[in-house]
Amino acid sequence: MKTFDIPIIYRSPLISAIKTKRKLLDRMKKDFSPTFLDFGPVQIMLPRHFGFCYGVENAIEIAFRTVEENPDKRIFLLSEMIHNPHVNKDLRDRGVRFIMDTSGKQLLPWEEITSEDIVIIPAFGTTKEIESHLQDIGIETNQYNATCPFVERVWNKAASIADKDYTVIIHGKPGHEETRATFSHSQIHCPTVIVRNMKEAENLAGFILGKRPAAEFYEAFAGQYSQGFNVEKDLERVGVVNQTTMLAYETQAIADFFKKVMEEKYGSPEKNVHEHFAETKDTLCYATNDNQNSILDILHEKADLAIVVGGYNSSNTSHLVELCEQKFKTYFISSEEKLLSRDEVLHWDFSLKEEISTSGYLPEKEPLQVIITSGASCPDALVENVIRKLLTFYGLDDKIDDMIALYSN
């Protein structure tokens, strides 16, 4: 697989050494067991896969290369390049300006952008409407397009099943940039509707099976269906694609569910099912799968707590938190700075939707066993910084170099 030139500030000597050795020992990526770092009083478990994915490294390389090669140009990003505050701050510090926030709210008026400017499309991609608007301004949308190739693959799959007269069901978060982009690209080809979870899939099934009045659909899925959607006709043939950062097993469960719904409505013979349901398993992102499967494997281990590092608005990172919480007390932090002391941590609370402080997060025991992982938009350097900060609380920070040497041999 291609390697990317990303700033050295995002690299980690420790994590790079570990990942390189694991790759050499397991080139086919069949071993999802964690890496154990034994520092004596503190033992750290790292999942087999975590951190920057292909799409993120591709986007970062494009963004920083664009800045370096165009010192005399004004450079804009449609929205956050990726969902990591440190990377986005680094780009702002280099003069890059953001046109919108992650929800699509305008930060700069379109009138400020000219054909002489550079506009970078972020890793999530963008809508056809915004692409058209940029082209009207005179912006070349392909030259600085950092859309993840795996997101584009979802768009291609949606178009492919649309050509066979299927309606596209997107499993995603309606407000997320990637889902908004996928919805926009899909609805050009066919009727499209978004379901955010299994509960909404079950609600949609009620309309497919005629168990709910068709008129209720438009309120139940307000803002989540394409213009002109005909609930009585457009749900006869469906296929499922996903926002690539969703829980992979949940997407698969939703696809399997709709297949069974079609079996119930149209009969179980395989021919009948395929006439009404399109198989679309290959829209699941490999990195999302690997990162999530690595956490599912680590759930079999014993640990005192888990620390997940990443941007608080990162969808893929939030799902890693969700998985860890199935077994471990889990703290979602954006950087090592949130580890205030051995007693206090600042971390994100999903129910409150805010950062909160928790005392006594590190149990008084030895050895302390801690799982540390990160989302696909989090630099490995931040993970190493978290490990170093944790070790300083126990006077073990001088042991990092020994661990780097161990994995470098």
The dihedral sign for the CA sequence 227, 231, 236, 238: positive
For residue 49, pLDDT over 80 is answered with yes
Nearest-angstrom CA–CA distance, 119 and 100: 12
Taking only the tens place, the pLDDT of each residue in 178-208 is 999 999 999 999 999 999 999 999 999 999 9
Taking only the tens place, the pLDDT of each residue in 99-142 is 999 989 999 999 999 999 999 999 999 999 999 999 999 999 99
DSSP 345: E
Based on the residue annotation, tell me whether 178 is a catalytic residue of this protein.
yes
Q: What is the mean pLDDT of the chain?
A: 95
Taking only the tens place, the pLDDT of each residue in 246-302 is 988 899 999 999 999 999 999 866 667 789 999 887 677 788 889 999 999 999 999
- pLDDT at position 274 is 81
pLDDT band at residue 341 using 50, 70 and 90 as cut-offs: very high
Nearest-angstrom CA–CA distance, 289 and 218: 33
**Rounded mean pLDDT of 44-59?**
95
Nearest-angstrom CA–CA distance, 103 and 244: 18
The dihedral sign for the CA sequence 38, 342, 399, 41: negative
Quick check: helix, strand or coil at residue 18? helix
Going along the chain from its start, the domains and CATH numbers come out as 8-53+287-408 (3.40.1010.20), 54-137 (3.40.50.11270), 150-283 (3.40.1010.20)
- pLDDT at position 269 is 65
For residue 158, pLDDT over 90 is answered with yes
Taking only the tens place, the pLDDT of each residue in 357-401 is 999 999 999 999 999 999 999 999 999 999 999 999 999 999 999
Please name the helix (run of DSSP H) or strand (run of DSSP E) that holds residue 371, with its range, or none: strand 368-374
Our CA angle for 75, 79, 82, nearest 5°, is 105
Full-model pTM: 0.92
Nearest-angstrom CA–CA distance, 226 and 223: 8
- pLDDT at position 155 is 97
Contact at 8 Å (CB) between 251 and 240? yes
- pLDDT at position 402 is 95
**Distance set, CA 6 to CA 54, 84, 255, 293, 375 (Å):** 12, 15, 36, 26, 17
Taking only the tens place, the pLDDT of each residue in 221-241 is 999 999 999 999 999 999 999
Taking only the tens place, the pLDDT of each residue in 64-102 is 999 999 999 999 999 999 899 999 999 999 999 999 999
- Which of 57, 178, 200, 336 is an active site residue? 178
